[in-house]
């Protein structure tokens, strides 16, 4: 039986309470990416007596089909290059955008699913950023970061993060707030970005960011418990 994230199914494992429970567990597996072996006793006393019970036992293996999530990397500098390479190795489909062809090219990003040489903000406005997508803003400067965040404002991506010091983050969040960007959206943005591992070099910073991406993808980090808000930690 194939189970979609919204609960739609194709095929059946017998119907009834057992199937209903298995569908719910499959939806959980889609969110977490974790497989699970379920065990059901098919007798009236254990299954609630909803009919179709033939006795015995049924095992159901729930195996999520892990399609690569899209990661949009805004900025093709040193951190963006290291980030794209590492993210691809852990299963992200990486899409890079930068306005400098000398930086945004296949030679520097051989594992990228797509590379765009374009104005970053304009590209982000039209990019297919869905609720399951991840976006990392690592441009070369404050003005470009602000323009990128302005273009992303209100988008319901699964993850939006921006690199920068607490001072820069505060300046950008203040500017966006003055422009009318919703406070609830700003609080969902992770900035300063990445897990706290003492990262210094571009490669180390990439490790900290990808670790956070994986944590969000696998359900180990949430906005309430582990997010780094735009107003600082």
Give the domain 70-217 fold. Rossmann fold (3.40.50)
d(CA 22, CA 37): 10
Tokens of 42: 């098919």
Would you list the domain boundaries of the chain? Answer: 2-62, 70-217
Helix (H) or strand (E) holding 67: none
Q: What per-residue confidence (pLDDT) applies to 231?
A: 41
Across 11-25, 52-66, 168-182, least confident range? 52-66
Q: What per-residue confidence (pLDDT) applies to 44?
A: 58
Tallying the residues shown for the chain, one arrives at 233
SS3 state at 210: helix
User: DSSP H helical segments within 33-182, as ranges?
Assistant: 44-47, 78-89, 120-126, 142-152, 166-178
d(CA 76, CA 80): 5
Record the pTM.
0.72
Helix (H) or strand (E) holding 28: helix 16-32
pLDDT at 224 over 70: no
> Which tens digit of pLDDT belongs to each residue from 101-153?
999 999 999 999 999 999 999 999 999 999 899 999 999 999 999 999 999 99
Q: What per-residue confidence (pLDDT) applies to 110?
A: 97
């Amino acid at each position: 039986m194939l189970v979609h994230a919204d609960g739609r199914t194709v095929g059946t494992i017998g119907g009834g309470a057992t199937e209903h429970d298995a569908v719910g567990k499959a939806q959980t597996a889609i969110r977490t990416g974790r497989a699970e072996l379920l065990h059901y006793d098919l007798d009236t006393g254990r299954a609630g007596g909803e009919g179709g019970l033939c006795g015995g036992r049924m095992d159901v293996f729930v195996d999520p089909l892990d399609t690569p999530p899209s990661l949009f990397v805004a900025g093709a500098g040193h951190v963006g290059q290291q980030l794209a390479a590492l993210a691809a190795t852990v299963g992200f489909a990486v899409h890079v955008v930068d306005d400098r062809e000398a930086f945004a090219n296949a030679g520097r990003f051989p594992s990228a699913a797509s590379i765009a040489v374009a104005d970053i903000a304009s590209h982000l406005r039209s990019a297919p950023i869905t609720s399951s997508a991840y976006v990392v803003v690592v441009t070369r400067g404050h003005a470009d970061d602000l323009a990128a965040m302005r273009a992303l404002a209100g988008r319901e991506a699964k993850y939006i993060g921006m690199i920068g010091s607490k001072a820069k983050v505060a300046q950008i969040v203040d500017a966006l707030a003055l422009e009318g960007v919703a406070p609830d959206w700003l609080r969902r943005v992770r900035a300063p970005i990445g897990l706290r591992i003492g990262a210094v070099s571009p490669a180390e910073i990439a490790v900290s960011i990808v670790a956070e991406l994986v944590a969000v993808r696998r359900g180990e980090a949430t906005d309430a418990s582990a997010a780094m808000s735009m107003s600082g930690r």
